[in-house]
Amino acid sequence: MSLYDKFIKDCGSAPFSFKAAPTIKVGANYTFKWGKYKGMSLVEVLTIDRNYVKRMVEEGSLKFTKKDDARLRKVLYAESEKYSGVV
C-alpha cells in the first residue's frame, strides 16, 4: 500500500481535484480554438484584450514559439496601450 493509499484510507479523499492543462505553444498567426475569443487570431486578441493573453502566459496556459516570442512579448508588455509596432 502506497502512502497516498494509506492517507486516503485514514483521512478520506481530498475535497478538491486538480487537473493540469497542457501548455499550448502559439505563434503570431495562431487562432484561438477555445475560450471567450474562439475564432479570433492572437493579434486581434492582443489589440482587444491584452490582459487576457498576459494572464494566460503568466499562468502557463500559453507559451509563445521561439520565432515569435520576442515580438509578442514586446507587444504584450508594452508600457503604452497604443503600441505602434504591433506584430
Q: How far is CA 33 from the centre of its chain?
A: 13
pLDDT at residue 84 is higher than 50: no
Q: Looking at this protein, which amino acid is placed at residue 6?
A: K
The reply to whether the predicted model has a pTM over 0.85 is: no
* SS3 of residue 26 by DSSP: strand
pLDDT of amino acid 12: 77
pLDDT at 14: 67
Measured torsion, CA atoms of residues 76, 79, 81, 86, in degrees rounded to the nearest 10 = -50
pLDDT digits (tens, 9 = 90+) for 1-32: 788 788 778 887 766 666 677 888 999 899 99
The cell numbers describing 29, all together, are 498567426
- The pLDDT, as a whole number, for residue 80 is 58
pLDDT in tens, 38-83: 999 999 999 899 999 999 998 888 999 999 999 998 888 887 555 5
Phi, psi of 14 (to 5 degrees): -65, 145
- Would you state the pLDDT for residue 17? 66
pLDDT of residue 83: 52
